[in-house]
Amino acid sequence: MKAIMIICDGMADRPVPELGNRTPLESARKPNMDELARRGICGIMDTIAPGIPPGSDTAHLALLGYDPLEVYTGRGPFEAAGAGLEVRAGDVALRVNYATVDKGLVVLDRRAGRIRDTKPLEAAIQRIKLPGAQFFFKSTAAHRATLVLRGRGLSHEISDSDPHKTGEKVLQVKALSRGAAKTARLLNDFSRRAHEVLTKHRLNKERVGKGLPPANYLLMRGAGIAPRLEPLRNKFALNGACIAAAALVKGVCRMAGMKIVDVPGSTTDVDTDLNNEVGAVLQALDGHDLVLYNIKGFDEVSHDGNFEAKVKFIERVDLALKQLIDAADFIVLTADHTTPISVREHTGDPVPVSIAGPGVRVDGVASYDERSAAKGSLGRIRGKDLLPILTNLMGKGKKFGA
C-alpha cells in the first residue's frame, strides 16, 4: 500500500468579505480536490493544538507523527538539515545572516545589501577552528547561512546575537541556563573570529570599493538542539520521500529519514512548476510507501494578502492534482496551517483534512473546504495523529496490547 500526503502550505483561510464571506477554498473551482473529499473521510485538524499558530517546521514534524512539543527547541537544526548539512542528535544549530556592521559593531544592514554570492566568504568561514566543538557552516540563499556545532555539553538555551533591528549594536550571545555557558562563549568567539576574517576578505574590500555594504558580520538566531527523531522507517514501517521547495520542510523530512527529491523549476511561490513536481511525486512512488508533497505558493500569496491570487493558485493546483488522484492507494489532502489573507500570518485555526483510500468510512462530504470538512466523520484530530491514522488504514498499525 502506498500513500501521497499533499500538504497545501497555508491554503486554509477564514471567510473573506470580498469573496461573499466565503473562504478562498469555498470560492475556487476545484473539482479534483472535491473528488478527493467525496472519496475520503474528512475532518479538521489542529496541527499542533487548538488555537496554536504552527510554524512550518513544527507543523511538518506533527504531520510526520512526532510531537513537536517534545522534540522541537528551535528552527536551527531543521534549517541546517534543509541546507544539506548533516545534523546529528545533540548538535546545536543556528540560523545565520550575513550582515553589515560599522566599526562600533552597530548593525547597518541585517542582510548585507541582500548580497547574492557568498561562496567565497563561506569558504573562509569554514576554515575557522576553535577548541571545544566542531563547527559546520554553510551559505544558503542570498544573505542566509546556517551553523552547526557538534561537541560535548552544548546547549540551545542561548540568546540571539541578532538584535533584529538596524542601528543597534550586535548582541553578545548569552547563556539562558546554567549549562549553556560553554555554547555562548564558543559562539561569541566564533563571531569575533568571523568578523575578523570577513572584514579582511577580498570580496568585502571589493564591495566597499563599489560602494556596496560589506558582509562583515554573522548575525545568529533561532538556536535549537537537534532531537533524536525515530526514523519513519522504524516508527511507521514507512519508506518516505519528500517533494518540497521550502528548505525548512526538506530539513524536517531529512531528519525523519526521508529521501529528499529536488525538482527543477520548483519554487516556494506561485510560479512553481507544478507539472515537474507532480511528475516527481509519481516517480518517487516507485520505491517509497509515502510521498509527502508540499506546495508552498499558497502561503506566499496569503502573506501578501492577495485573495484573488490565492483562489487562482488553488484552481491551478487543483488541475495539477488530477494526475495524482488515482496514483496511490491512499491520498491525503491537507494543509500545515491556516494563513488567512486577512491576517497575512500563520494562525491557529484548524485545517481541513481528507483521507481517501480503500476501507475508509466515506462520510458524504462533497466539497474540500474548511467548513464542509468540519462535518466529516474524522471529527477534529491533532496533527500528530494523522500519520498513525493513515498507517492504520494502510495495514501498518502497531497493536498496543494483546
* CA angle (222 as vertex; 140, 110 as ends), nearest 5: 60
Choose the stretch contacting a second copy; rule: CB under 8 A; options: 86-94, 129-137, 325-333, 354-362.
Answer: 354-362
* Site residue total, a second copy (CB under 8 A): 62
> Considering only residues 38, 39, 49, 212, which one is a binding residue for a second copy as defined by CB under 8 A?
49
305 binds a second copy (CB under 8 A): no
> Considering only residues 318, 346, 356, 368, which one is a binding residue for a second copy as defined by CB under 8 A?
346
DSSP state of 18: G
Nearer to a second copy, 21 or 172 (CB): 21
Question: Is the separation of the CB atoms in 12 and 301 below 8 Å?
Answer: no
> Considering only residues 5, 48, 80, 245, which one is a binding residue for a second copy as defined by CB under 8 A?
48
Cβ atoms within 10 Å of 169's Cβ, excluding its own: 12
Tell me the CA distances in angstroms from 312 to 11, 180, 338, 363, one per residue in order: 12, 49, 17, 28
* Distance between CA atoms of residues 249 and 386, nearest Å: 17
Choose the stretch contacting a second copy; rule: CB under 8 A; options: 56-64, 188-196, 206-214, 295-303.
Answer: 56-64
The three-state DSSP-derived secondary structure of 217-280 is EEEEEEEEECCCCCCHHHHHCCCEEEECCCHHHHHHHHHCCCEEECCCCCCCCCCCCHHHHHHH
- Least distance to a second copy, CB of residue 377, Å: 4
Nearer to a second copy, 51 or 120 (CB): 51
Q: Which residue do the cell numbers 563547527 mark? A: 135
Closest CA to 113 of 166, 38, 64: 166
- Maximum Cα interatomic distance, the chain, rounded to a whole number of Å: 74
By the 10 Å C-beta count (0-12 exposed, 13-18 middle, 19+ buried), 264 is classed as exposed
> Considering only residues 89, 192, 345, 366, which one is a binding residue for a second copy as defined by CB under 8 A?
345
Please report, as residue ranges, which positions from 358 to 397 form the binding site for a second copy (by CB under 8 A): 359-363, 370-371, 374-375, 377-382, 385, 387-393, 395, 397
Choose the stretch contacting a second copy; rule: CB under 8 A; options: 86-94, 285-293, 324-332, 337-345.
Answer: 337-345
35 binds a second copy (CB under 8 A): no
Q: Which residue do the cell numbers 484552481 mark? A: 315
Binding mask 62-101 for a second copy (x = CB under 8 A): ------xx--x-xx--------------------------
List of residues contacting a second copy (CB under 8 A): 14-15, 21, 23, 44, 48-59, 68-69, 72, 74-75, 222, 248, 340, 342-343, 345-349, 359-363, 370-371, 374-375, 377-382, 385, 387-393, 395, 397-402
